[in-house]
Amino acid sequence: MVELQIRSPFLNEETREIEWAVLTCLRVSGDSVEIEGDDELLDFSVPVVSLRTGELLLFEKDREEWARNLPNAYRAGDYVVEVFRDDNPILPEVLAGPEVEREQLQLREKVGAHAG
């Protein structure tokens, strides 16, 4: 099960601070889909890129994984998608990727001494 919100920033005139309005809530559990709010902000025909595999995901093939990766599809500042509940989060798997060996760098003591 994954739950996410589509939010939009607005200026609170009283406090003069930016706040976030929740426009849409999406809850996907298996084949079950619940939408609260503005359902026009969701386009289920758009493929999204999986952070787990790098492949394109279609909503009809894997609804939960599509929703889980939906934040990657929103690039504009008008809307932000945030996953706030997830039974199978992406992040731990991405962070647990293969270790990368790093080459140790050796810096010259005085860069100016070698300038010509």
Quick: pLDDT tens for 11-48.
999 999 999 999 999 999 999 999 999 999 999 999 99
Nearest Cα to Cα of residue 64 among 43, 88, 42, 40 = 88
Quick: pLDDT tens for 41-77.
999 999 999 988 899 999 999 999 999 999 988 766 7
Mean pLDDT value across residues 1-7: 95
Domain parsing of the chain, residue ranges: 2-96
Total-model pTM: 0.72
Contacts of 90 (CB under 8 A, 6+ apart): 51, 52, 68, 69
